[in-house]
């Protein structure tokens, strides 16, 4: 009995000793390292942030914008689509009695980056758009009235200028060399808190389809960006500007760690044209391009999803004159490999009109190269179609849609004059066609690159497609064409 009690006592002491050792080890893990090399590394990193902030901060300035607006009542007023990025109104709004229209001055705050000693400042278009008066405050607290040199809504870039000299201009870096995971700082004036510096990393590069501009190639960062930061600097740890802070993604309007900046290489190219000409002149290829996903690659028997497929060729445009055809896949532009639609679109836009461009193509499995003389991109137009009449339907149950041969009368109503194909007259909810996004009034022009002119043509080609396979349709909606893939059931 005594022996058993001693055994229990020994076991308890052993457990206590083990727990104590574990707690001490755990505490050691959470205590600051005493290793001199580790401590020096932390100090050096801190100094790098300090040096970068000290270098770039004097070149980032607040931009105060005043805009005259009309209000109808204390409960209304024009909504600003860039509200989340623009900064809040500084002063309380005053409204006329009885809901009568009344002019008032709306104040807002953004940021800008000084890019020259003589007063040129790079910022966002949405910071200055519609402003009646722009005021810039320098770090020495002097204020200057600014004039707009040029704006480019398609990239959300603007250049303004103040009459001042001997300014401390920011050093513009090379955004092409920025790496995902690299430390960066964001400098701006969020919520009227002047010259605020936040830190983070580069979360991603080449972000497009964000819906903020026509030409997008954003750098994504988790450095805090908030209202008032727009137009400010995203800088590396050497204090070089690698982006112009533009927007955030947030359900609440506040920072959640997803911010976007225009790459400085794109912003600089636009800025140089705005300063020299007051506008941006872009190259024009004359094609409608589309990304290639796995389903489309499978349907068209492509080896990869690299490149951008030509969904439409503008009549008498540069591409048409060079022999580029619908269904061609652009894989290179002036020797640079093309990964997607956004890349080729931006490269063409950044090229000068009336210059020769070498375009690498993949046509039905065969590689080829053509030389295109680029045109000048004009303002894009959007098309609308009239309400359609109900045509006679022929169901295609395999896809879950009904279609009708395009007649001259239907073509005139829908804006499909001088075109061919079958018009979608109905889509079954939950069907493969519905899942693929097909809609009434869509015009189907090809099935797996076979031209379609009648419902009979369409049904014949769909019948050839085996169950479980993916079919590629060339579809026109209004003035636009694209390839749509559907898995046949």
> What is the chain's mean pLDDT, rounded?
80
pLDDT at 342 over 50: yes
Say yes or no: 458 and 399 in one domain: yes
Summarised one tens digit per residue, pLDDT across range 269-321 is: 999 999 999 989 999 999 988 888 888 888 888 888 999 999 888 888 999 99
Say yes or no: 267 and 407 in one domain: no
Give the pLDDT of residue 355.
93
Q: What percent of the chain is modeled with pLDDT above 70? A: 80
Give the pLDDT of residue 269.
93
124 domain residue, yes or no? yes
7 domain residue, yes or no? no
Say yes or no: 299 and 404 in one domain: no
243 domain residue, yes or no? yes
Confidence of residue 21 (pLDDT cuts 50, 70, 90): low
Summarised one tens digit per residue, pLDDT across range 346-370 is: 999 989 999 999 999 999 889 999 9
Find the catalytic residue in 59, 208, 230, 482: 230
36 domain residue, yes or no? no
Domain boundary among 227, 258, 280: 280
273 domain residue, yes or no? yes
Q: What percent of the chain is modeled with pLDDT above 90? A: 34
In the predicted model, what is the mean pLDDT of residues 201-220? Answer: 82
Say yes or no: 243 and 323 in one domain: no
User: What's the whole-model pTM score?
Assistant: 0.65
Say yes or no: 251 and 310 in one domain: no
Q: Which domain holds residue 475?
A: 394-487
Say yes or no: 325 and 438 in one domain: no
Is residue 97 helix, strand or coil? helix
Say yes or no: 331 and 398 in one domain: no
Give the pLDDT of residue 72.
54
CATH number, domain at 483?
A: 2.30.42.10
- 330-334, 347-351, 379-383, 406-410 — which is least confidently predicted? 379-383
Say yes or no: 201 and 268 in one domain: yes
Say yes or no: 105 and 194 in one domain: yes
Confidence of residue 251 (pLDDT cuts 50, 70, 90): low
Tally: H helices and E strands in the chain: 11, 27
Residue 156: active-site member: yes
Say yes or no: 234 and 340 in one domain: no
Find the catalytic residue in 108, 126, 208, 224: 126
Say yes or no: 145 and 269 in one domain: yes
Find the catalytic residue in 152, 156, 217, 222: 156
pLDDT at 381 over 60: no
Give the pLDDT of residue 158.
94
Confidence of residue 77 (pLDDT cuts 50, 70, 90): very low
Residue 126: active-site member: yes
Residue 230: active-site member: yes
Domain boundary among 280, 296, 315: 280
In the predicted model, what is the mean pLDDT of residues 371-395? Answer: 55
CATH number, domain at 231?
A: 2.40.10.120
Confidence of residue 2 (pLDDT cuts 50, 70, 90): very low
- CB proximity list for 83: less than 8 A, separation 6 or greater: 227, 253
415 domain residue, yes or no? yes
Other beta carbons less than 10 A from residue 149's beta carbon: 16
Domain boundary among 280, 303, 319: 280
Q: Give the chain's domain count.
A: 3
Q: Among 478, 270, 280, which residue's Cα sits nearest to residue 378?
A: 280
pLDDT at 439 over 80: yes
- 8-22, 44-58, 261-275, 317-331 — which is least confidently predicted? 8-22
15 domain residue, yes or no? no
Say yes or no: 352 and 400 in one domain: no
In the predicted model, what is the mean pLDDT of residues 100-106? Answer: 66
At 161, give phi and psi (nearest 5°): -140, 145
Long-range CB pairs of 345-348 (<8 Å, 24+ gap) are 345/215, 345/289, 346/215, 346/217, 346/266, 348/282, 348/283, 348/284, 348/285, 348/374
In the predicted model, what is the mean pLDDT of residues 5-19? Answer: 49
The residue assigned the tokens 């401390």 is 168
pLDDT at 468 over 50: yes
404 domain residue, yes or no? yes
More confident residue, 25 or 339: 339
């Amino acid at each position: 009995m005594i022996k058993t009690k001693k055994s229990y006592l020994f076991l308890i002491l052993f457990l206590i000793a083990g727990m104590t050792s574990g707690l001490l080890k755990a505490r050691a893990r959470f205590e600051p390292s005493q290793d001199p090399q580790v401590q020096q590394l932390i100090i050096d990193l801190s100094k790098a942030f300090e040096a970068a902030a000290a270098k770039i901060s004097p070149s980032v300035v607040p931009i105060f914008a005043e805009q005259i607006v009309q209000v109808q009542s204390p409960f209304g007023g024009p909504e600003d689509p860039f509200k989340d990025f623009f900064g809040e109104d500084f002063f309380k709004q005053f409204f006329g009695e009885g809901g009568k229209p009344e002019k008032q001055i709306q104040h807002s705050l953004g940021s800008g980056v000084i890019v020259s000693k003589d007063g040129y400042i790079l910022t966002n278009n949405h910071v200055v758009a519609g402003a009646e008066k722009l005021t810039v405050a320098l770090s020495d607290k002097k204020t200057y009235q600014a004039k707009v040199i040029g704006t480019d809504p398609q990239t959300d870039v603007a250049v303004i200028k103040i009459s001042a000299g001997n300014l401390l201009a920011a050093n513009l870096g090379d955004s092409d060399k920025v790496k995902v995971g690299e430390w960066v700082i964001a400098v701006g004036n969020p919520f009227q808190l002047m010259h605020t510096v936040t830190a983070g990393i580069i979360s991603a590069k080449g972000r497009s389809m964000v819906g903020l501009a026509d030409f997008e190639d954003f750098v994504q960062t988790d450095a805090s960006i908030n209202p008032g930061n727009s137009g400010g600097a995203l800088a590396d740890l050497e204090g070089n500007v690698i982006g112009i802070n533009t927007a955030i993604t947030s359900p609440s309007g506040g920072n959640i760690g997803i911010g976007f900046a225009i790459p400085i290489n794109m912003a600089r190219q636009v800025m140089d044209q705005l300063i020299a000409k007051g506008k941006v002149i872009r190259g024009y290829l004359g094609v409608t391009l589309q990304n290639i996903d796995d389903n489309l690659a499978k349907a068209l028997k492509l080896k990869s999803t690299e490149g951008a497929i030509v969904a439409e060729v503008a009549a008498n445009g540069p591409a048409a004159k060079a022999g580029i055809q619908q269904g061609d896949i652009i894989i290179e532009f002036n020797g640079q490999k093309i990964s997607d639609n956004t890349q080729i679109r931006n490269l063409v836009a950044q090229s000068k009109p009336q210059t020769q461009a070498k375009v690498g193509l993949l046509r039905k499995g065969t590689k080829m190269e053509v030389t295109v003389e680029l045109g000048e991109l004009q303002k894009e137009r959007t098309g609308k179609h009239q309400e359609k009449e109900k045509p006679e339907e022929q169901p295609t149950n395999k896809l879950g849609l009904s279609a009708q041969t395009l007649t001259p009368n239907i073509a005139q109503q829908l804006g499909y004059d001088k075109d061919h194909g079958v018009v979608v007259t109905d889509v079954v909810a939950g069907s493969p066609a519905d899942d693929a996004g097909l809609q009434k009034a869509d015009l189907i022009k090809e099935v797996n690159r076979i031209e379609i002119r009648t419902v009979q043509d369409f049904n014949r080609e769909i019948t050839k497609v085996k169950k479980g396979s993916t079919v590629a349709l060339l579809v026109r909606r209004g003035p636009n064409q694209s390839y749509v893939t559907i898995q046949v059931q």
